[in-house]
Chain A
């Protein structure tokens, strides 16, 4: 590959409909700096625009939509540069199979890490701009005038001098035959008319009528349904089952082993499959983890907090240990954060049609290419005989970055070649076979000089690394960089404080509970650890928590700006209404600066009412402010659900929580309006879906302390008998 842009022109099939006449612009622009390693290692840049003769513009979206609004936001960015009529925009997902067949013209499909927009905005905008240039050129050629004399507005191209005009749809065929320009300038975001606006989502209507088809709703002719049970003990195996005991069960077609660890019942309906599965005698080989418990894991993690145990360093300056040893005053605290399950409301599922010649899958996935890889692997077929059709996702939160359920579905369908099979997990299977938020503890020590200035801070995290399990090749010298999210001096999640002597360490201890990326990942607990402890330090210093923080934030103006914004909005420094108390938190994650301020009252010492909660975020650019506000509010609901009701515990190697009755979620009555401040300062692209999640919990915990004088240092609050009023 070279740096050249290549344009594909042949029509092809997407989503069952052939795109015929019209412009299909595809870009393959590998980064020059990485082109030495070939196109495979430089997948970053791609975009597609289709213009139909009726002026409909189909914008292809490679990233997944799971409610976060990326589908609409990416379409806005392309449409902005294209200058098309927004009311005529539709979208569709290319499949990863098509992408593989065409040398990855759409680049990365991964929709995790709040990257949906920030890591593809440049090339999707470029795709729109280049398509615009080609459409204008086609009109100019027809009119035999210079393209520079033509203007375009809402998909209508005009030539003022001759008084002529035409539409994108009319020139699309001619435009598709042109050689594309090597480059096309992007607009200054200050000139945006479609991007940057709070436009309505493109996918709402069908979600209000029941018409939207999620993976769980896929129905194919002759389809059978499968229910599955995987070994309830992590690392265990399925030894045997006795299918004769369910021989007469209605609708049952087949009982199948799935890999080494699971068994599935295939029936005409899922209810029949599940009913039979529940009655199926299964013998599990529980393996080496049959005695694992969260209580024992907690003790093991606590040992890792001691300086005598091995640890690696994630950030340091000065000499924190020495400063603490010599200081006239020190403060110490230990915090902890448990496993959490994603519990997306749509249980995991995949529908597979396998024949010896082809394996097609319909599923909701956050990473189409990972899903595609899983299908290739599990089917044993070559990539050109596989494909994945991405369905609307009923909640992802990181769980659907993983492909375990997709592999299972293929392994089931392989045993019924020619018959489509939908595998659907029960809620119980989802709760007990998650990819859980990692479990950690943290010991923090701060020290002061004689004037109560903070002179040293030592954070020692003990516990689980996600990458050690999920991507072990990313661990270098024992360091999982993601563990230190929000606590480092470089990167997209930087510490916002300058402390003269700083040491941040990690003692990696990995219990045999599968970890995963859970909305916000490690900023969830790291923000609680740091921001609640900053509150403790402020009180130890006898200072106002906001004033105390501000003194340490001189070199971090963006962190400071969001803190100031929430402090001002909540009325920090002015008296709160009678009986209400306030707390703040500030952090950085996924490239964005975030802060929160909460105002709570506490009844009988253990019943919290959140009266107000304010959030601020600086994501650099705001592509759709209304959707960003919804992501902020939604992230607070998710983060506070985990704080109050969450916590996955293990006993005898098994997850104890099986459904929402023991792993509850916030309800409408508990959640006040989130007062959002979206304050993009420009010059960088930060994420939106995750960053704000981490400041809700520490702001509420700090407000709880202000109300009660009591520090809560462990999650969930239900374990401290603290609930919502």
Chain B
């Protein structure tokens, strides 16, 4: 048995340890906010936090994630209060189709934890998620707004 700690809950599972964490989260745990976009660590739609670090969950196995603190988009709000990144996303109306935005928000939340007031250059270097709708300028605006919040 493997123990996954997701959004503060310990989950005992018999998932094969070589399964990408993404699929365990989506299919075995049933949290579908974390999205599949490429499966090869390119697009970032599957970004979660592992021990606070933004990680593309398609590139880490269940075995390697076992026992670590995993946070998905569903666990980002605390006590029913949206994370300031989520709030900024709503205030600035960032998403278009929205499919990439869970991963984008998770990547940004981790960035702001590490770098509370990121420069544009730091944003450029860190936020590498693909958004085919092209929401980038709203994303940048919302990052700065969340940093001020």
Contacts and interface: CB of A to CB of B under 8 A. Distances in A.
Q: Do the two chains bind?
A: yes
Interface of A: 66-69, 200-201, 203-214, 216-217, 219, 225, 250, 269-271, 343-347, 392-397, 424, 426-427, 626, 630, 633-638, 641, 659-661, 665-669, 671, 673-674
A345 B38 CA distance: 8
Of A69, A207, A674, most buried by chain B (CB within 10 Å of CB) is A207
Contacts of B133: 67, 395, 634, 637-638
A213 B77 CA distance: 18
30 contacts: A67-B98, A207-B98, A208-B94, A208-B105, A209-B73, A209-B76, A209-B82, A210-B32, A210-B34, A210-B72, A211-B74, A213-B32, A216-B32, A217-B26, A271-B27, A343-B132, A345-B132, A347-B36, A394-B98, A394-B99, A395-B132, A424-B36, A630-B135, A630-B138, A633-B136, A633-B137, A637-B133, A660-B130, A665-B43, A668-B136
A268 to B, nearest CB: 8
A596 to B, nearest CB: 14
Contacts of B97: 66-67, 344-346, 392-396
B18 to A, nearest CB: 9
Contact of A205 (B73, B90, B128): B90
A626 B92 CA distance: 10
Contacts of A393: 97
A344 B132 contact: yes
Interface in B90-132: 90, 93-102, 105, 123-125, 127-132
Given A210-B34, A345-B35, A665 B132 contact: yes
Given A216-B35, A345-B37, A634 B134 contact: yes
Contacts of A626: 93
A630 B96 contact: yes
A674 B137 CA distance: 8
A209 B132 contact: no
Of B34, B98, B131, most buried by chain A (CB within 10 Å of CB) is B98
Contacts of B134: 633-638, 666, 671
Contacts of A270: 23, 27
Contacts, number: 176
B37 A427 contact: yes
Chain A interface main SS type: loop
A67 B37 CA distance: 16
Contacts of A68: 96
Contact of A659 (B32, B38, B86, B90): B38
B33 A211 contact: yes
Contacts of B127: 667-668
Given A634-B133, A659-B39, A660-B43, 18 more contacts: A69-B96, A200-B93, A204-B98, A207-B95, A208-B101, A208-B105, A211-B74, A270-B23, A344-B99, A344-B132, A345-B37, A345-B97, A345-B100, A394-B97, A637-B133, A641-B132, A665-B43, A673-B137
A533 B136 CA distance: 31
A668 B139 CA distance: 8
A395 B40 contact: no
Contact of B99 (A205, A345, A634, A671): A345
A395 to B, nearest CB: 5
A214 B94 CA distance: 18
Contact of A668 (B35, B77, B124): B124
Nearest 7 Cβ contacts at the A-B interface: A210-B33, A637-B134, A67-B97, A394-B99, A207-B98, A67-B96, A634-B134
A510 B90 CA distance: 46
Given A345-B43, A345-B100, A634-B96, A204 B124 contact: no
Contacts of B43: 345, 660, 665
B147 interface: no
Nearest to A342: B132
A208 B135 CA distance: 14
A671 B136 contact: yes
Interface string B41-73: 011010000000000000000000000000011
B107 to A, nearest CB: 10
A674 to B, nearest CB: 7
B30 interface: yes
Nearest to B88: A208
Contacts of B130: 345, 660, 665, 667
A660 B58 CA distance: 14
Given A345-B37, A394-B35, A637 B93 contact: no
Interface of B: 16, 19-20, 23, 26-28, 30-40, 42-43, 45, 72-74, 76-77, 82, 86, 89-90, 93-102, 105, 123-125, 127-140
A201 to B, nearest CB: 6
Of B26, B43, B95, B138, most buried by chain A (CB within 10 Å of CB) is B95
Chain B interface main SS type: loop
A633 B73 CA distance: 26
A641 B19 CA distance: 32
A204 B36 contact: no
Contacts of A638: 132-134
Nearest to A674: B137
Contacts of A635: 134
A393 B42 CA distance: 21
Contacts of B131: 345, 637, 665, 668
A261 B90 CA distance: 44
B32 A219 contact: yes
B20 A271 contact: yes
A668 B98 contact: no
Contacts of B40: 427, 659-661
A515 B76 CA distance: 42
B33 A209 contact: yes
Contacts of A665: 43, 130-132
A345 B139 CA distance: 17
Contacts of B95: 67, 201, 203-204, 207-208
A633 B27 CA distance: 35
Nearest to A661: B42
A650 B82 CA distance: 47
A214 B99 contact: yes
B123 A668 contact: yes
A564 B135 CA distance: 27
Contact of A210 (B38, B90, B102): B102
Nearest to B24: A271
Contacts of A225: 27
Contacts of B129: 667-668
B99 A208 contact: no
A671 B37 contact: no
Nearest to B83: A208
A588 B87 CA distance: 38
A609 to B, nearest CB: 12
Contacts of B135: 630, 633-634
A641 B130 CA distance: 11
